[in-house]
Structure formats: structure tokens, C-alpha cells
Amino acid sequence: MPRHLSALALLIVLAGAAPARAEPVDLNLALAVDASGSVDQRRFELQKRGYAAAFRNPRVWRAIHSGMIGAIAVTMYQWTGPRMQAEAVGWMIVRDQDSAEAFAAAIEATPRMLFGGGTSISGAIDRGVTLMATAPNEPSRRVIDVSGDGANTSGREASDARDEAVAKGIVINGLPILSVEPFLDRHYSEEVIGGEGSFMIAVRDYDAFGDAILRKLIAEIASLP
């Protein structure tokens, strides 16, 4: 084969092997859902229903469209102990009603995969950081959204995991559920949330979870104060 043809063939092979450019999005959002021992099946289902209903809400779609790009990437995982996290829904891009419905359906179709093992918010944050590092998207912002009904009782300090995540440019937001520990919001405020614009929304019990996660997702996606 002539030398110039060999060089051309090599260029074609290299071009075909080149990785696709990551799709830009306004936000990479990792949703960490509590599956520890204090969360019975009814409470777990209320969390799932709340998230699914939120992504079917037109207010969430409008929040997504308010971004410069008009798309976000979202993943969801369940968490309990320091090394006990399970991916529920892999990274999906949500940009319109159809993709939001697909994400909501994926949430509903995923069974509970963890049943106890401790309460490690630090482990949940660390897993979120790992997911951010492997996300196939180029986001303007990165947020880990932690919901749960108990304080960090296993693994390293939650504040240490938070500080490391914040140092990487990741924001940690929280949704403490006060049905088991009435002052859990103080723990989240002091030890869990962090980063520019971070916030939390506390709810009294699981029955109020749906309304709270809707408000929280809108604020996170639209980057509201």
C-alpha cells in the first residue's frame, strides 16, 4: 500500500476511535436517597413517589428550560452504611417533558436495593463525588442532594466528606426528615450542606416529602437563592 494511503487509513482509524465530546448541560445532579434501617418500605415508597411526581411537574420542566443550555443530567442512588450505596438510576439527560417522564419512570421501576447497614451521610457524599467524576457530561454546576431521617453515625465525619466535596467545586444540599430525630435539621445545617448557594429544606415527616422535594428541585435546577 502506498505510504500516503497508509497514513490516511491510520487517521481514519484514529478519528473513529476518538471519544465523543461530552454533552454540555447546566447541571449535574446526584440524588442520594436514604435506605437505612429507620426507613421502612412505606417511607421508602413515599420518597420514590415524591421524586417521580416532581419530574412530571411542569414547574420542574420550566426550571430546566431557564438554564443557558436548557438541559440537566441526573442520577439517583440509594445509601446506608459507609460502603453501602447502590445506583438506582444511571446518568440521564433531562431536557423536556419526554425525557423527564423517562427519568420518572426509571425511578418508579427501580426496586429498593438496600435494607439497613447504618447511617453514613459521609459515605453518601463520597459516592456522589465519585459519580460526578465519572459523569459523561460537562456541567456548569454540580450538586449532590442528600435526603435522610438520621444523623451521620457511621464512617468518617460528614463534615469531612462535605469539605472535600466543596473543595472540588461540588455543592451539597440537604432534605432532612424530622420524624425520627426532631433536631436533624441542625446536624444538616452544621455538618452536611456546603458550597456556594447551598441550602436545605427540612420536613416534619415523610408525608410532606413530595411537596418539599418539588420545591427543592426547582430551586436547585434554577439555581435560586
User: What CATH number is given to the structural domain containing 176?
Assistant: 3.40.50.410
Tell whether 137 is covered by a domain: yes
Sorting pLDDT into bands at 50, 70 and 90, what band is 18? very low
Tell whether 15 is covered by a domain: no
| Contact by Cβ (8 Å): 76, 89 | yes
Tell whether 150 is covered by a domain: yes
Condensed to tens digits (0 to 9), the pLDDT of residues 178-189 reads: 999 999 999 999
Domain residues for the domain of 148 are: 21-222
Tell whether 9 is covered by a domain: no
Mean pLDDT throughout 144-150?
Answer: 97
In the chain, how many domains are there? 1
Tell whether 11 is covered by a domain: no
Tell whether 30 is covered by a domain: yes
56 exposure class (CB count in 10 Å sphere: 0-12, 13-18, 19+): middle
Condensed to tens digits (0 to 9), the pLDDT of residues 43-70 reads: 999 999 999 999 999 999 999 999 999 9
pTM for the model stands at 0.89
Predicted confidence at residue 189, as pLDDT, reads: 98
Tell whether 108 is covered by a domain: yes
Beta strands in 23-136 (DSSP E): 23-34, 72-79, 85-94
